[in-house]
Chain A
Amino acid sequence: MVVVLLPSQLENEAGGQRRFEVEAETARGALHELPVADLLFDERGVLRPLVRVYVDGEDARDGLDEPLAAAATIRLIAAIAGG
C-alpha cells in the first residue's frame, strides 16, 4: 500500500481529504489513482510544471515510472511560485 499526501491547496478538490492509500507500482500509477489526477497531469499525461513529487523524501519528478518500494510515501507539493 502506498500513501499519498496532498498539499493543502488540493484538499477541497479531493473531497476534503489530504491522505490517500492506494495500490500502485509506480508514482505515476499512484497519482493516477487520485481523484485529483486531472489537476496533476495535463491531457497528454505530462505532470504539470509546478507540481513537485517526493517519494520517501526524494525528488521523483523525473522518476515517476520507477518501481516504488513497499509502503512508500509520496508527498505532493505545489512549487513556490505565484503572487
Chain B
Amino acid sequence: MGLLIGTRKGLFAFDDQGALHGPFLEGWGVYHAVSHDGVVYAAANSPFFGASVQRTTDGGETWERAEELGLPEDSGLTLNAAWHVEPAGSRLWLGCDPGALFSSDDGGVSWTANEAVLTHPTRERWQPGAGGMCLHSIQVAADGTLYIAISAAGAFRSDDGGESFTPINKDVAADFMPDDPYPEVGQCVHKLLVHPEQPERLWQQNHCGVYRSDDRGDNWVRLDKNGLPSDFGFGIALDPADPDAAWVIPEESAANRVTSGGRLGVYRTRDGGASWELDSEGLPDRAWTGVLREATSFDSYGVYFGTQSGSVFIRGHQADGWEEAASQLPPILSVESGSWS
C-alpha cells in the first residue's frame, strides 16, 4: 500500500514499493489526497487561484481539474478552500470551507453542493476556527451512515444519505463558549473517524478533548483525562483489527500549538481510551513541531503521520516502533494511505 502526502507545496507519494515520487501539482497546497479505483483525487488550493479538485489516472503525469467549484448564489457564500475528498462506492464527497459539502457522481468531473448542509437550521450558530470553517471530516460507515464534522460547527450524522443532518455533540465540550460550554452545535471537532469494522463506534480529537462514542454519536465519553498530557491535538488514527485501539498526537494547548512536552509524542490506547501510553519508540526526543488534522492516517498495515517540519513517520501495527520514511519535505498538510502507480 502506498501513501499520499499533501504538502503546502504540492503532492508527494510513496508507491507500493516504497519509492517516493513528486512533487506534483507544484504551486498548489494539497490539503488532502486520496486514491480510489485507480484515480488519485487531490483537494488543491492556491492563494492566487482558489479551490480545486484535481485528479490523475497516470501516476501524476497529467492532471484534470474539476469543473468550476462554486456555491449557489442564493447561499450568499463563496468557496474558500477544498479540504477533504472521501470516496464512497461510485460517489465522491468533498468537504469545503465555508462549511460546505459537495458530491460527485461522475468521477469528480463536476460537483454539486449539498443543500442540507448549506441550509442547516443551526448554521447561524456555526463559526470559523483558525483554519476557516472547514468541513474536514467525512465518513461513510460500513452501515451506510454518513458523518461529517466541521470546525467549529460540530459533528453531524445523516441517516438518509445526505438529505438531512442531525447534530451529534452531546457532552462534547466547547470551552471557548463560556455561556454554554456544552451547546447543541458549535463544537470545534478537529478530526472525526468511524471504526471501519465497528460502524457504531466513533472517535474524535476535538479542540477540547478526545472522545469516543459507541452509539453512532448519540453519546460521547471524554478520554483525554485518562493519561494524555493535554486535551488539544488534531489527528487521530485507528486500527481496523482492534476497535479499542487509537493513536493521538497531543499538542501543548490551543494557545501553543506544538507537540507536547518538547518531543514528538504519540500516545496510544488499547482499551478504548480508558488509559493512554506514550508510543514514541523511534521518534525524536526533542521536537517542537505539529501534525495537522489531515496528516494522520491508518490502514490494516499500520499508522502514518506527517509533520509540519516535513517528516513522514510509519509504524506497522506489528512493529516495535516508528520509522522515518521521509524528511525535509515541505510542511505536510495531509497523509493518506492509498495506491500510487
User: Is the beta-carbon distance between B78 and A9 smaller than 8 angstroms?
Assistant: no
Interface of A is mostly: loop
What A residues does B69 contact at CB under 8 A? 38, 43
What A residues does B73 contact at CB under 8 A? 43-44
Minimum CB–CB distance for A28 against chain B, Å: 16
Q: Is A42 an interface residue (CB 8 A)?
A: yes
Residue-wise, chain B 19-62 has the 8 Å CB interface mask toward A (1 for contact) of 00000000100000000000000000011111010000000000
- For chain B, the count of residues having a C-beta within 8 Å of the partner chain is 17
User: Is the beta-carbon distance between B79 and A48 smaller than 8 angstroms?
Assistant: no
Given contacts A12-B63, A44-B73, A44-B78, contact A39 B27 (CB under 8 A): no
A82 interface neighbour in B47, B50, B68, Cβ under 8 Å: B47
Q: Is B270 an interface residue (CB 8 A)?
A: no
Q: Is A69 an interface residue (CB 8 A)?
A: no
In B74-96, the 8 Å CB interface with A consists of 78-79
Minimum CB–CB distance for A32 against chain B, Å: 12
User: Is the beta-carbon distance between A43 and B71 smaller than 8 angstroms?
Assistant: yes
User: Is the beta-carbon distance between B48 and A42 smaller than 8 angstroms?
Assistant: no
What A residues does B65 contact at CB under 8 A? 13, 38
Q: Is A3 an interface residue (CB 8 A)?
A: no
User: Is the beta-carbon distance between A40 and B47 smaller than 8 angstroms?
Assistant: no
A48 interface neighbour in B50, B63, B70, B71, Cβ under 8 Å: B50
User: Is the beta-carbon distance between A43 and B68 smaller than 8 angstroms?
Assistant: yes
Known: A10-B49, A81-B47; 19 extra A-B contacts, CB below 8 A, are: A9-B49, A12-B63, A13-B65, A36-B49, A38-B50, A38-B65, A39-B49, A39-B50, A40-B49, A42-B50, A43-B69, A43-B73, A44-B78, A48-B50, A50-B48, A51-B48, A78-B49, A79-B48, A81-B48
Ranked nearest first, the 3 interchain pairs of A and B with the lowest CB-CB distance are: A43-B70, A39-B49, A38-B68
